[in-house]
Amino acid sequence: MKSLRELYVEELKDLYSAENQILKALPRMMRAASDRDLQRAFSQHEKQTQRQVKRLERIFKQLGESPRGKKCKGMEGLLEEGKELIQERPEPEVLDAGLIAAAQRVEHYEIAGYGTVRTYARQLGEEEHASLLQETLDEEGETDKKLTALAESSINIEAEQADDDGESMGGNGRSGSGGRGRAGARGRRKTASAAR
């Protein structure tokens, strides 16, 4: 790499790979979520991400470059952590809080990446690119704020109370109640997904 322009193209490829990985991960996160508002937030972000991919493709077309040829390993790692969380099968309310944490890491990674390429575009005199990238950057920022609001208004609170729910459902008996509480939570989760 010999110039800022080449670095710009490399960073754009990285983001293109990141967005496409996110597109594959979002349906999984949506299925794992129990909270309706969180499911909706993931589904809205999936549609938004499709438009963000299109914006990047427009930029690559103008540059006469291919968007392919790079795998964003940072995003791969972040999404892998989200996958691991789901596989650990936490209480549904706790999983929702954890999914927000994973999604916000993804958003912050993207915010860093888009902020950088937007600044490079300006430096390189690519004003149209800069405004397209700024649009995406704004959307990522809004998604991040929306997730914070969901966490603070309800999901973290429900996660904190998840254990209490299990206790009350399990009735008495210290050793048995945890297990039954867990089963109860799973049952609720099944109902939630069946209702979709």
Token pair listed for 119: 């600044």
CB of 106 to Fe ion, least distance (A): 8
Cα(5)–Cα(1) distance, rounded to whole angstroms? 9
Site residues (CB under 5 A) for Fe ion? 49, 52, 110
Token pair listed for 6: 């080449």
Q: Which residue minimizes CB distance to Fe ion?
A: 52
By C-beta, is 35 or 110 nearer to Fe ion?
Answer: 110
By C-beta, is 8 or 16 nearer to Fe ion?
Answer: 16
CB of 25 to Fe ion, least distance (A): 11
By C-beta, is 20 or 49 nearer to Fe ion?
Answer: 49
Query: Cα-Cα-Cα-Cα dihedral of 159, 34, 102, 48, to 10°?
Result: -140
In our burial notation (b when 16+ CB lie closer than 10 A, e otherwise), range 167-196 reads eebbeeeeeebeeebeebbeebbeeeeeee
By C-beta, is 33 or 106 nearer to Fe ion?
Answer: 106
Any residues with CB less than 8 A from the CB of 78 and at least 6 apart, and which? 102, 105, 106, 109
